[in-house]
Amino acid sequence: MSTNCTVVRLRLPGVDSVDDLGERLAGHVETCLTCQAEAARYRTLRHRLGGLSKVTLRAPSTLVPSLVFRIEHSDEEAASDRGVVIRRAAIAASAAAGAAVAATAGTIIVIGLRRAHHAA
């Protein structure tokens, strides 16, 4: 990839067409298959994004009441979220403690087996 390719790749997202890149870079695109493919991808992307403006989205009828409810009860949700975090921390701590107990038990078993092996 040449320096021109790198510059074209950086500037393509900010222009409407290859002609807006300037004479030198537009001339490069005319001769570079890599940059032509990149320009084609951006043309397709712009075309599809332009098509989105024709799409009408309707919010579900429950959206506004749901938002109002959440705003009015945001303090309760924050407290509930803190409770979830505390429960997750407790679970993680107990899992770590369980792993430590298992590791200790494994070490004791290994030491016991080595001692039994050396004694034999």
Residues that bind Zn ion (CB under 5 A): 5, 32, 34-35
Rounded distance between C-alpha atoms, residue 42 and residue 16, angstroms? 9
Whether the CB-CB separation of 35 and 10 falls below 8 Å is answered with: no
> Among residues 21 and 35, whose Cβ is nearest to Zn ion?
35
Report the Cα 112 to chain-centroid distance in Å.
48
> Among residues 18 and 35, whose Cβ is nearest to Zn ion?
35
Rounded distance between C-alpha atoms, residue 78 and residue 49, angstroms? 37
Q: How far is the CB of 1 from Zn ion (least distance, A)?
A: 7
Q: How far is the CB of 77 from Zn ion (least distance, A)?
A: 52
DSSP 23: H
Q: How far is the CB of 72 from Zn ion (least distance, A)?
A: 56
> Among residues 5 and 15, whose Cβ is nearest to Zn ion?
5
